[in-house]
C-alpha cells in the first residue's frame, strides 16, 4: 500500500542533499511524496525567484510534483506561532506515515529552527528520520540506512539543477557522491543515505 511521505527543509537544496535518493526511491515505489521548504534561500547568492525555480526543477527531476514553499525570511525564520501552525496544518491534512527532517543539531540557525518546527509538526507520526548535511553537528548518529544505489545518479541530477549554488563547497557533487558511497560501505551496498532515528514504528 502506498505511503504518504513528507520531507521538510530550511532552504532549496537541503532536502536533496540529505534524502533525495530516498525520495526518488519512494516515488519509484509508488509512494506519495510532499516537499516543504521554509525559506527561499534568498541570502544564498541568488534571488528568491531563482532559488525557487531551481527547487522546482530539482523536485521534478526526482518525480516529485507536490512542493510547498512557505517563503519565510532566509536566516530569520520567525519564532512566533506562524511557522508551527502552518506545518501543523500541512502534516495534519497530508497525513504522512514518514517524515524526513533536518538533524536537531545543526550549525545553521535555519536548519536548527526547521528541525525544531518539523519535529513538533511530526510528533504523532510513526516514523521520523533525521537527515544529514554539510552543517550537521558531529553528534549525528547514523543508525538507519536507505539503499539508493539505483537512484544516486538521479539524486546528483536533481542537485545539479541548483546552478546558482554550483561553486559552493556545500554543494560539491563529488563530495555528496562520496558521502553516499561511504554510507553505502557502512550499509553493505554501493550507495546509501544515512539517518538518525527519532522514531521508527512499523
The domain locations on the chain are 4-197
Tens-binned pLDDT, residue by residue, of the chain (202 aa): 899 999 999 999 999 999 999 999 999 999 999 999 999 988 888 899 999 999 999 999 999 999 999 999 999 999 999 999 999 999 999 999 999 999 999 999 999 999 999 999 999 999 999 999 999 999 999 999 999 999 999 999 999 999 988 777 778 999 999 999 999 999 999 999 999 999 999 9
Distances (CA, A) of 103 to 19, 64, 129, 139, 196: 12, 22, 8, 9, 7
What is the rounded CA–CA span in Å between residue 179 and residue 117?
Answer: 27
3-class secondary-structure state, position 178: helix
Q: CA nearest 1: which of 28, 21, 30, 25?
A: 30
List 7's β-bridge partners, or say none.
35, 100
Q: Is 47 helix (H, G, I), strand (E, B) or coil?
A: coil
Given a contact cutoff of 8 angstroms between Cβ atoms, the answer to whether 196 and 130 are in contact is yes
Instruction: Please provide the CATH number assigned to the domain covering 4-197.
Output: 3.40.50.10320
- pTM here is 0.96
Q: Are strands 127-131 and 192-200 parallel, antiparallel or unpaired?
A: antiparallel
Amino acid at each position: 500500500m502506498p505511503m504518504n511521505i513528507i520531507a521538510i527543509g530550511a532552504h532549496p537544496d537541503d532536502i536533496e542533499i540529505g534524502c533525495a535518493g530516498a525520495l526518488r526511491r519512494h516515488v519509484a515505489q509508488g509512494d506519495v511524496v510532499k516537499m516543504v521548504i521554509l525559506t527561499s534561500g534568498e541570502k544564498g547568492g541568488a534571488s528568491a525567484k531563482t532559488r525557487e525555480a531551481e527547487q522546482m526543477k530539482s523536485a521534478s527531476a526526482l518525480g516529485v510534483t507536490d512542493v510547498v514553499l512557505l517563503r519565510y525570511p532566509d536566516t530569520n525564520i520567525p519564532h512566533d506561532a506562524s511557522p508551527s501552525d502552518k506545518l501543523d496544518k500541512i502534516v495534519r491534512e497530508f497525513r504522512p506515515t514518514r517524515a524526513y527532517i533536518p538533524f536537531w543539531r545543526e550549525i545553521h540557525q535555519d536548519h536548527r529552527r526547521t528541525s525544531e518546527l518539523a519535529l513538533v509538526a511530526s510528533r504523532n507520526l510513526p516514523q521520523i528520520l533525521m537527515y544529514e548535511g554539510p552543517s550537521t553537528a558531529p553528534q549525528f548518529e547514523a543508525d538507519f540506512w536507505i539503499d539508493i544505489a539505483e537512484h544516486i545518479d538521479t539524486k546528483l541530477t536533481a542537485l545539479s539543477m541548483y546552478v546558482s549554488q554550483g561553486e559552493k563547497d556545500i554543494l560539491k557533487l563529488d563530495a555528496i557522491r562520496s558521502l553516499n558511497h561511504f554510507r553505502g560501505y557502512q550499509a553493505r551496498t554501493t550507495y546509501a543515505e544515512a539517518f538518525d532515528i527519532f522514531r521508527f514504528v512499523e
